Amino acid sequence: MKIQRPRGTQDFLPQEMAKRRFIENKMRKTVESWGYQEIQTPIFESLDLFTLRSGETILDQSYIFDDKGGRKLILRPELTEPVTRLYVEKLQAEPKPLKLYYFSNCFRYERPQKGRFREFWQFGVELIGSDRPESEVEVIALASSVLDTIGLKGDLHVGHLGALRALMGDLSDEQKNSVIRFIDKKDNEGLRTYLEEIGATSLEENIRALTESEDIKEAREMVGDVPALERLEDISDMLDIYGISHKIDFSVARGLEYYTGMVFEIYAEGLGTENQIGGGGSYRLAHLFGGKDTPSTGFAFGFDRVVLALGDIQLPQQTKVMIVSTRELRDWASRKVAPRFVQHFHTEVDLMSRDINGQLSHANAIGATHAVIVGDKELQKGEEFVTLKDMKTGEQEMLTIEEVINRIRLMDI
């Protein structure tokens, strides 16, 4: 019986894995240098954590199950709520703002297609405990800096849910959330039907006008001088000072329902419909999980989409050393020579009892950059002697082990 991996999941072969780690490490370095510390939370959580504020869409897409003790559990569909739970449990007394980051897998039962998976990875940050526009700007600037570091161009759209909410005036919170959901899905038909249902068709034209507007002044004419627009203006001005190009976009509504203010999304080219490589915004969740009311801002990149958007990238060539020896000297080469190299480089020895030529052609096949030959000629000169062969040029030279290590190290830089 041939068993296939579940729909919407991915296997990563060594080359792909090397590429993912290369990108991941660059992203980690950037957020760490901005002062963010890594955390990890469990793959599954109590369902309650996500029923309070995530919203219908995300719950409909979640893997929810009972464990053998009858507890209702959920495979995490995202990480902002787990991070807030952890913050409330263990980190509330830490100095503010608290800067955390994560790189973890998430699970959503969505229809798989290019860039849309059922298991995918998020690389995200949460800045907890500040309500200042500077913090919101820092989070957006960090997202932009991460993209710069990995060499990906993103199209940044910034909005504020307060503007939409103000426009909807007397509707209940639940109705406002439903409208925001239709806007997030860009489902104009659904929105029209819903507005008819709740007797608010007069809003349709204004919602359309606001979500199509890219201008804060224009928005002011529609919703008045509300604090949301003042905040968005501050943020936009500061982003200009940082030199971060962005578009004001009131149609950024986000699929999760916990956002309370500024929201943003980043899109990349070449991904088709799933072009949103990252998104985030400001939210308040801590008080819902038993903590103090705490303003926070964060974002998450869809790591798989980032990797897809980057396409083929040139990875730095890794030094790979193959220790090549005669059959008689194999034990000597493995026990005495290889351990000296493995301390510095990726080093392999012959495990197939091949002759010298066989080992050299294997070294070629696995992309070794250097072969270190241990033979009678070398041993006759002294126990420290080996021959270094540059696999690219074919040049050979007999040197001491120490000299070879130094020579390869110099080439490595």
Binding site for ligand HAM (CB under 6 A): 78-80, 108, 110, 116-117, 120, 122, 124, 126, 255-256, 276-281, 298-300, 302, 304-305
Pick 282 or 347: Cβ nearer ligand HAM: 282
Residue 23 or 322 having the CB closest to ligand HAM: 23
Distance CA 19, CA 229 (A): 41
Give me the residues paired with residue 396 across strands.
389
Shortest approach of ligand HAM to residue 141 CB, angstroms?
15
Q: For residues 163 and 300, which CB has a smaller minimum distance to ligand HAM in the complex?
A: 300
3-state SS, 179-227, equals HHHHHHCCCHHHHHHHHHHCCCCCHHHHHHHHHHCCCHHHHHHHHCCCH
- Do 398 and 372 meet the contact criterion of CB atoms below 8 Å apart? no
Nearest residue to ligand HAM on Cβ basis:
302
**Residue placing its CB nearer to ligand HAM in the complex, 142 or 277:** 277
Helix (H, G, I), strand (E, B) or coil at 85: helix
User: Do you know the residue count of the chain?
Assistant: 413
Greatest pairwise CA separation for the chain in angstroms: 96
Report whether 258 contacts 289 (CB < 8 A).
Answer: no
Tell the smallest beta-carbon distance from residue 32 to ligand HAM (Å). 18
Minimum CB separation of residue 42 from ligand HAM in Å reads 16
386-402 core/surface letters (b: 16 or more CB in 10 A; e: else): bbbbebeeeeeeebebe
Shortest Å, Cβ 52 to ligand HAM: 14
Query: Smallest gap, in angstroms, from Cβ of residue 123 to ligand HAM?
Result: 9
Residue corresponding to tokens 């950024």:
252
- Of 149 and 206, the one with the shorter C-beta distance to ligand HAM is 149
CA distances in angstroms from 97 to 48, 238, 274, listed in the order given: 27, 19, 33
What SS3 class is residue 152? coil
Q: Closest separation between CB of residue 180 and ligand HAM, Å?
A: 14
Question: CA-to-CA distance for 339 and 139, rounded, in angstroms?
Answer: 46
Nearest to ligand HAM of 76, 362 (CB atom) = 76
- All residues at 6 or more sequence positions from 68 whose CB lies less than 8 Å from its CB, including other chains: none
Buried b / exposed e across 297-314, counting CB within 10 Å, b at 16+? bbbbbbbbbbbbbbeeee
Q: At its nearest, how many Å lie between ligand HAM and the CB of residue 133?
A: 16
Q: Minimal distance in Å, beta carbon 58 to ligand HAM?
A: 7
Separation between Cα atoms, residue 275 and residue 278, nearest integer Å:
9
Please identify, using beta-carbon distances, which residue of 255 and 295 lies nearer to ligand HAM. 255
Tokens of 59: 């719950």
Nearer to ligand HAM, 278 or 375 (CB): 278
Degrees, nearest 5: CA angle 158-161-101: 60
* C-beta closer to ligand HAM: residue 262 or 368: 262
Q: Considering beta carbons, is residue 129 or 280 the nearer one to ligand HAM?
A: 280
Best CA proximity match to 144, nearest among 302, 266, 54: 266
CB 263, min distance to ligand HAM, A: 9
Sheet holding 396-400, edge to edge: 346-349, 320-325, 370-374, 385-390, 396-400
CB of residue 202 to ligand HAM, shortest distance in Å: 31
| Identity at 317, one-letter amino acid code | Q
Minimum CB distance to ligand HAM, residue 37 (Å) = 16
Q: Tokens for 358, please give them.
A: 């066989």
Nearer to ligand HAM by Cβ, of 59 and 356: the residue is 59
